[in-house]
Structures are given as structure tokens and as C-alpha cells.
Amino acid sequence: MSVKINVSEIFASNVFDDATMKQRLPKKIYAEFKNTLLEGKDLEPHVAEIIAHEMKEWAIEKGATHYTHWFQPLTNITAEKHDAFINPQKDGSILLSFSGKELIKGEPDGSSFPSGGIRATCEARGYTAWDCTSPAFIHEAPDSTPVLYIPTIFCSYTGEALDKKTPLLRSMEALSTQAMRIIKLFGDTTATKVVTSVGPEQEYFLVDKDTYDKRKDLIFTGRTLFGAPAPKGQELDDHYFGTIKERVLAYMTELNEELWKLGITAKTQHNEVAPAQHELAPIYDTTNIATDHNQLIMEIMKKVALRHNLVCLLHEKPFAGINGSGKHNNWSMSTDTGKNLLEPGDTPHSNKQFLLVLASILKAVDDYAPLLRMSAATPGNDHRLGANEAPPAIISVFLGDQLEDVLSQLCEKGEATRSLEGSQLETGVSTVPRFSKDATDRNRTSPFAFTGNKFEFRMVGSSASIADPNIVLNTIVAETLCQAADILEKADDFELALHDLIKDWVTDHIRIIFNGDGYSDAWVEEAARRGLPNIKNTVDATSVLADPEVIKLFDKHGVFSAVELAAREEVGYENYSKAINIEARTMIDMVKKEIIPAVMEYTTTVAKSVAAVKAVGADASVQEKVLKEITTELSKLDAAVVKLEAATDASVKIEDPKAQAIAYRDDVFAQFAEVREPADKLETLLDEKAWPFPTYAELLFNV
């Protein structure tokens, strides 16, 4: 029986969105609220009071008993603390209430979140404040009452940001301020702000829960720390865009329904390259809302999976030897009147505003490449960037034939006079309708690719919040647009100054453009020749936050103070150390409590068999050979795990966060391969039934 969903009826039915507010709020209050949004003015208390009341009434009609301030601490996931609407009266009865104050401000304590030293636990005060640019919504779950969720920012008593949303909102404002200066120079008088939009494509794996439950590494770390390759991987390309299995489709159906109710435009679903890997993409939205929605997508993906006895893995590299998961961050900026500043038009060579914006983005990406790399750095993503599936850790920009041709005309001849056009697609089949192809092909290996009217930043990891990359993108582009505006606003001859600026910047930053194969070794060498940074791991990437230029940049645009930035650097190291520590402890545990005992038991069986076979005078050489191979690997494994344990015990004691992260990287993480190798070898030597946990074959091919 197929499932029927009335999409137009359920879409955004659980969102206290603009239409709902317009319908429920008194006209004057609605107008005042809209003004607050448009002009960024403070929200008047009486407006908040009435909105809170209506929000509560609406939520109660939907069955809600609680509300929560929902925020995004420095953990890549969201946080919530539920409060009931109940308000006891003197006569013993209960009133359900929700005040404007409760809507606007919360004090969740939350002192245990990472703060990078901004808050000592004794200074527990932290505040959440309503982010009215992202609508409140109702979260439902089976067997529980719905809860009203209010998107908020999270900051300390002294006003420092303790979350990812505050700097994201600040960076959006910074970009708007600078981009407005540019569009005014080109005579736009109607736009009042520039907003950035993002469409994040989310990759994930689905594994069977019963199988998952037998793997401590998946449970504790989200990835497999052991596992010999299955006989089959992704070499046949038979999973990518393949027919979706019914069990998976049933999952996707329920996931879509949940997302649509929350007004999330889940649009595209397909199988990805690796076995058991899939992707979901929503339609792009304002960065702030896209970020909230991406957090919800990740959370709901996991919850719905459990209802199907599946587990959704969002880790960047759950399995060795097959593709990991990322999140393509499609980014653009447009005016509030709907003009996309990244739209080249049919003749980009004559679109001066576009060329200026393009030159500014090239300069931003080249000047701040290490920072952009940092924004995609997580311990999980270290496995991906540089392996031959994700973009390399080297930042470069793909522009495609058409734009590259325009820019080379500019550099070589001083002027661009023509644009290549897309020709008709020749299929050789007369019954297929003819259509013209794009002026530019795609490049799947580029970390930062122009795709028609947007840039696609492909380094981001699947488990990460998209706030970090967008904070960085918005801020670095705000900076170069600011530099451009500083020059052009003062120019006596605007046309001449504009021409020179575009030409100079393109010439200066041409090294960042690369249209070739980003996965090849030749590119690594070529990039080194060009002087492009190749930052291979999270620890090195994090240290970029201490660069005086970076501190100056964020301070200038009001995105991070020096204190906030130092705190993020510290949290970056801490998160890295903790992640590697958990992986190390899990490895040690699995080796000592599962692998070694299983191997010992098996060797006893084989040894008995050797003795028995010999006792009857038969040839036991095969049994002896197997026994020897196994015991050789077993002693290698034992030696490696002893070293790993010592290194972990030493690293955990280091106090300086950076020194500790370096130790976890160089002494602990570096030891993982030495433990894994003999363990994986043993897996191939033992009887299938004797191995203590499910293999790759069972994990990847049984859904």
C-alpha cells in the first residue's frame, strides 16, 4: 500500500510563520513586528507580549504543553531545555501562560557547554535571546506532547557569543552593509539590503540498527575504527543514483513528511556513490534559516531512522575505503528586491557589477584560503579532505570555460569583449528534443566551484553545522567588497577605476583558479608551486584563528571580538582532543575486550585441531600455518595497543589545549593505523562466526 501525503496541506503546518502571524496577530502588531524585522529595530515589549500570547495559543491548539529556547552551542548540534506553560494560581488552579519576556529572553544556565574559557562554571549566567528572523515551530514525536521551539541566540552575561548563530547573523549584516555600498555605486536605489542564501546538500549513511548495536565504535564515535574491506565496494557504480530500496524509500517518505511539516523544502533524494549512502537536498533559503533547517534535517534524519530500525550516520567517514559524506554549501547573495549578485547574465564580459563581485570573491578566497579551510575542519573531515573523493584540502576556485575566458581576455588584452556561448546539445537521436547546453561544464573535484549563479563550497563535512563556513564566507567577501567600495567611492573616474580594480585583482589572484582535476597528485605539486596552502588537519587549521590578520578581519566587521575568537580557537583544540580521545579509548576497549578474547578462543580451537590431526598421524601444516599467521598478527596488535594506551594516557594529562591537540594528533591518532592493520588482518584470518562484531559486508549490504 502506497502512502498518500497531502503536501500542500501539511507544508509548514507546524510553523508559526509569516502567514500564521498575519492571520492571528492584530494588524497593527503584525505591522510593527514586520518593521522590526525590516529595519532591525528593537522589538517593543507590548509587541512581544501579544506575539507570545498568540504563539502560545497556536501551540496549545496543536497540543503543545511546553516551549523551549532552541540554540546552537559550539558542538555542531542544537540544545534545548523544555519549560511547561503552567502557571499555578492562588486558588490552586493552573493557568497556561507565556509572556513576552519568556519569549524574548531565557536563562538556561547551560554552563557545561564549551565556551573556550569565556565562562568559568562558577559564572554560570548565559542568556538565550529570541532570533525573530527564524520562525518558531512545533516539534512532534510519537508518544509525547508536542513542544514549541523558539530559535534563539546564546550569549554570556557579558554579551560574548557562545553559539554559532550570533556570529552568523553578525556576518550576514556585515556582508549586507558592504554589498549595499557596491550596488549603490552601480545605481541601485531600490534595494535596502543584501541577503546571502544557502542550499546545503546533505549526505548520510543508513545502517541496520541491530547490526549497528553490535559495534561499539559506531555507537561511541560514529565511525568504524576497524573493518576489513567487503568483497564488494563502490567500484561498479551501481549504487550512485541507483533504484532506491523500498525500506530506504519508506524512510525517506516519512522523513520528507516530517520536514515538510516544519516548512523545510526537502526537494531532492537519491542514492550516493558508496553502498548504503544517500543524499537529501532542500531548496535554498536565507542563510540563517537554511542553517536552522540543516540542523533540523540532521536531527530528524536520525530520529526517523530509529522508527525504521535504522541508524543514520552523519559522520564524515564512517567506513574506510569507500566514500565519506559531505555537505555541499551552495552560496549566493541577492538584494531584497530579488537580484542575484552572482548572476552573470548571457554576456558576463559586459556585466561590470558581476565582474567586480567575482573579482572580490576571488580575492577573498585567495587572501583567506586558510580561514576558509578552517571553517570546514572537524576531526571527521580530516579523513575526507585529500582522500580521492572529497575536494583536496587545498582551496582553489573553479570558474568554468566561459568565465575563465572572460578573465583571461581581461588579463591579457586589458579588456573583455566577448563571452562564449552555450551551443546546442547534439545527442545524435532525432526523437530527443533539442536544447542548448550551459556555457560551462561542471567540475566535481573543485572545493569552490561556480555553478551558474552561485558558488558551491564542497569541503564542508556532513556532521558539521553550516554556520562556520557561512560566517567565514560572508565575512571574507564583506572585507573585499569593503576594500573595493573604499577605492571606488573615492574615484574621480568611476569607469576607469572599476576597470583597473577588476583587472588588478583578477591578475593578482589568478593563482587561485584551477579548472583541472583536484584529486590528482599533479595538482598537489602544482598548488605548492603556486604557493597555495595545503592544511592537512584540524589542529593546523584551527591555529589560523590566532593569525593577527584574521583577528583584525573579524573585529573590523563586528563578527567576532578578539576574546570570542580566542575562545573558538580553544574550543577547536578541545573538541579535537576529545574526539580523538574517545576514538582511542574505544579502540583500546574493542581490542582488549572483544578482539583479543575472540582471537584467543579461536586459536585454542585451532591448536586443539593441530594436536588432534597430528595425533592420528595426518598432515596438520595448514592448521599450523593459520595458527602461526594469527598469532603473529595477535602479537602485533597487542604491541600496538599497548603503545596506543600509553600515548593516550600521556596526552590526556597535557593542560595547554593546543599542545594537547598536537599530542592527540601526532602520538595518538598517528597510532590508530598500527592498531587497525593487524586487527583487520585478523578479521580475514578468523572463521566468520568467531569474529566478535559485524563486518563491513554486513553493515553495508543488509538494509
| Residues forming the site for Mg ion (CB under 5 A) | 328
Contacted by 130, from ligand ADP, Mg ion, none: CB < 5 to 8 Å by type: none
Residue 453 binding: pick among Mg ion, ligand ADP, none (C-beta 5-8 Å cut-off by kind): ligand ADP
Q: Which does 648 bind (CB under 5 to 8 A by kind): ligand ADP, Mg ion, none?
A: none
Q: Which is nearer to Mg ion, 458 or 665 (CB)?
A: 458
User: What letter would DSSP give residue 284?
Assistant: P
Between residues 328 and 509, which has the closer beta carbon with respect to Mg ion?
A: 328
Q: Residue 193: CB partners within 8 Å, gap ≥ 6?
A: 176, 180, 335, 336
- Based on CB atoms, which residue is closest to ligand ADP, 315 or 454? 454
For the bound state, the minimum distance from the C-beta of residue 353 to ligand ADP, rounded and expressed in Å, comes to 16
Q: Which does 691 bind (CB under 5 to 8 A by kind): Mg ion, ligand ADP, none?
A: none
Interacting residues of 548 by C-beta distance below 8 A, sequence separation 6+: none
Q: Is 109 left (phi over 0), alpha (psi -120 to 50) or beta?
A: left
In the complex, minimum distance from the CB of residue 282 to Mg ion, in angstroms, rounded to a whole number: 13
Q: Say which residue the cell 543584501 belongs to.
A: 194
DSSP class of 41: P
* H or E element that contains 578: helix 562-590
226 or 398: CB nearest Mg ion: 398
Residue closer to ligand ADP by CB (options 283, 642) is 283
Beta strands in 348-453 (DSSP E): 397-398, 448-450
**Closer Cβ to ligand ADP, 191 or 668, answer by number:** 191
Cα separation of 566 and 545, whole Å?
Answer: 7
User: Using CB atoms, what's the residue nearest to Mg ion?
Assistant: 328
- CB-CB neighbours of 168 under 10 Å: 26
**Would you say 251 or 284 has its CB closer to ligand ADP?**
284
According to DSSP H, which parts of 435-520 are helical?
A: 467-490, 494-508
Rounded to a whole number of angstroms, the minimum distance from the CB of residue 284 to Mg ion is: 11
Strands 86-88 and 266-271: unpaired
- The span from the CA of 408 to the CA of 414, in Å, is 9
332/648 with CB nearer ligand ADP: 332
114/476 Cα distance (integer angstroms): 25
Q: Which residues of 255-287 are buried (b: 16+ CB within 10 A; e: fewer)?
A: bbebbbbbbbbbeebebbbbbbbbbbbbebbbb
Kindly state the smallest distance separating residue 442's Cβ from Mg ion, in Å. Answer: 9
Measure the CA–CA gap between 500 and 356, rounded to whole angstroms. Answer: 10
Rounded-to-integer distance, Cα 332 and Cα 478, Å: 13
Q: Give which of 122, 158, 137, 127 is closest to 14, Cα–Cα.
A: 137
Q: Which does 675 bind (CB under 5 to 8 A by kind): Mg ion, ligand ADP, none?
A: none
Instruction: Catalog residues that contact ligand ADP under the rule CB under 6 A.
Output: 197-199, 201, 281-284, 330-332, 340, 453-454
Tell me how far, at minimum, the Cβ of 199 lies from ligand ADP, in Å. 2
The Cα–Cα gap between 295 and 464 comes to: 9
| Among Mg ion, ligand ADP, none, partner that 319 touches (CB below 5 to 8 angstroms by kind) | none
C-beta of 203: minimal distance to ligand ADP in Å? 11
> Which residue lies nearer to Mg ion by CB, 216 or 328?
328
Pick 35 or 453: Cβ nearer ligand ADP: 453
Question: Which partner, ligand ADP, Mg ion, none, binds residue 362 by CB below 5 to 8 Å per kind?
Answer: none
* Least distance from ligand ADP to the Cβ atom of residue 279, Å: 8
The CB-of-471 to ligand ADP minimum distance in angstroms stands at 16
Q: CA-CA distance, 427 to 695, in Å (whole number)? A: 44
Q: In the bound complex, what is the minimum distance in angstroms from residue 261's beta carbon to ligand ADP?
A: 19
C-alpha gyration radius of the chain: 28
Taking the complex as a whole, how short is the minimal distance between the CB of residue 652 and ligand ADP, in angstroms? 41
Eight-class DSSP state of 543: G
Q: Which residue lies nearer to ligand ADP by CB, 108 or 199?
A: 199
- Shortest reach from residue 438's CB to ligand ADP, in Å: 11
Which grid coordinates belong to 179?
A: 554589498
Q: Tell me how long the chain is.
A: 703
Residue 332 interface partner, choices Mg ion, ligand ADP, none, CB cut-off 5-8 Å depending on type = ligand ADP
Question: Taking the complex as a whole, how short is the minimal distance between the CB of residue 595 and Mg ion, in angstroms?
Answer: 40
| Residue 281 binds which of ligand ADP, Mg ion, none (CB < 5-8 A, kind-dependent) | ligand ADP
E-strand stretches of 223-322: 266-271, 277-282, 285-286, 310-313
Q: How far apart are CA 187 and CA 193, in angstroms?
A: 14
The site partner of 454 among Mg ion, ligand ADP, none (C-beta below 5 to 8 Å per kind) is: ligand ADP
Q: Which residue has its beta carbon closest to ligand ADP? A: 199
- Residue closer to ligand ADP, measured from CB, 198 or 355: 198
Name the phi and psi angles at 299, rounded to 5: -65, -45
In a 10 Å sphere around its CB, with 0-12 CB exposed, 13-18 middle and 19+ buried, how is residue 185 labelled?
A: middle
Please choose which of Mg ion, ligand ADP, none residue 35 contacts, taking the beta carbon within 5 to 8 angstroms, the exact cut-off set by kind. none
Nearest-approach distance from CB 326 to Mg ion, in angstroms: 10
* Closer residue to ligand ADP, CB minimum distance, 198 or 679: 198
Q: Pick between residue 283 and residue 618 the one whose CB is nearest to ligand ADP.
A: 283
SS3 for 107-131 is CCCCCCCCCCCCCCCCCCCEEEEEC
Beta strands in 578-632 (DSSP E): none
Decide: 211 and 276 in contact? Cβ < 8 Å.
no
Q: Is the dihedral of CA 390, 396, 397, 402 positive or negative?
A: negative
Q: CB of 390: closest distance to Mg ion in angstroms?
A: 13
